[in-house]
A = this chain, B = another copy of it.
Amino acid sequence: MKEGPDIAQIGALIGDPARANMLAALTGGRALTATELAAAGGITLQTASSHLSKLESGGLLAQRKQGRHRYFTLADEAVARLIESMMGLAASRGHLRHQPGPKDPALRKARICYDHLAGDFGVRMLDSLVATGSIDAIGDGLAVTAKGESDLQCIGIDVGSLKSSRRPLCRSCLDWSERRAHLAGSLGKALLANFMEKGWARRMPESRSVMFSTEGERQFLKLFPLET
């Protein structure tokens, strides 16, 4: 007993519903202010402030002062991955929270996961990239092939420059709604950014869901065909 690092501290931080809601909101990747997070957690600003300082000193959040605002983000990608994997486990154990509302299908179709595309569309994209030989997959490991590198160049993504970053290029991320992997890492981020630049997709305010325009969806589906 008493072996290894203390997981109870982290568990307790995530274990409070208000804090969990705030963390989930931050999984959207946007930096949010204390006031916005208070709303996300369903609590007053005072209470949120106390929670936020706990989360920060616990190492789960980072903050950035900007004028009279204080912006919070998840401390790093490791935290985002932990939250996502807890969502995966929670979903598989039936710990659901939402009365399936109108927003839910949109969320399952396409949503943002920290900084990349998730949901049905995210899973489809990775499936297609693997099927067309743009990405090699070994277990959970992903790597861009030479073919993939040139294909992506055509879309307008320079894989070479992404490689130089410290962050891994490809990473698989388990999707809690689809229970299958989608593409994370700097390439996943670049792809989503690319879609938004082209006007194919845009983020919905106050939500993690990503809306595709009619034309954008057409282009997306054409670009990432699904061979059955």
* Chain A residues with a Cβ under 8 A of chain B: 1-17, 19-21, 23-25, 39-42, 58-60, 78-79, 81-83, 85-98, 103, 107, 136-143, 168, 170-172, 176-177, 206-208
Contact = CB atoms under 8 A, between A and B. Distances in A.
Contacts of A91: 4-5
A82 B86 contact: yes
Contact of A12 (B12, B24, B92, B137): B12
Contacts of A141: 137-142, 172
A88 B41 CA distance: 27
A137 B5 CA distance: 28
11 contacts: A1-B40, A1-B206, A4-B176, A5-B90, A5-B95, A6-B20, A6-B96, A11-B11, A11-B15, A12-B15, A138-B142
A167 to B, nearest CB: 12
A95 B15 CA distance: 16
A137 B140 CA distance: 10
Given A9-B90, A11-B12, 19 more contacts: A3-B25, A5-B88, A5-B95, A5-B96, A5-B97, A6-B20, A7-B20, A8-B15, A8-B21, A10-B14, A11-B15, A12-B12, A78-B92, A82-B85, A85-B85, A136-B138, A138-B141, A139-B140, A140-B140
Given A7-B14, A7-B24, A140-B141, A98 B176 contact: no
A1 B42 contact: yes
Contacts of A177: 4
Q: Return the 8 tightest CB-CB contacts between A and B, nearest first.
A: A141-B141, A11-B14, A12-B15, A59-B93, A11-B15, A15-B15, A8-B20, A138-B141
Contact of A21 (B1, B10, B21, B92): B1
A58 B140 contact: no
A227 to B, nearest CB: 22
A49 B64 CA distance: 44
A5 B78 contact: no
A171 B4 contact: no
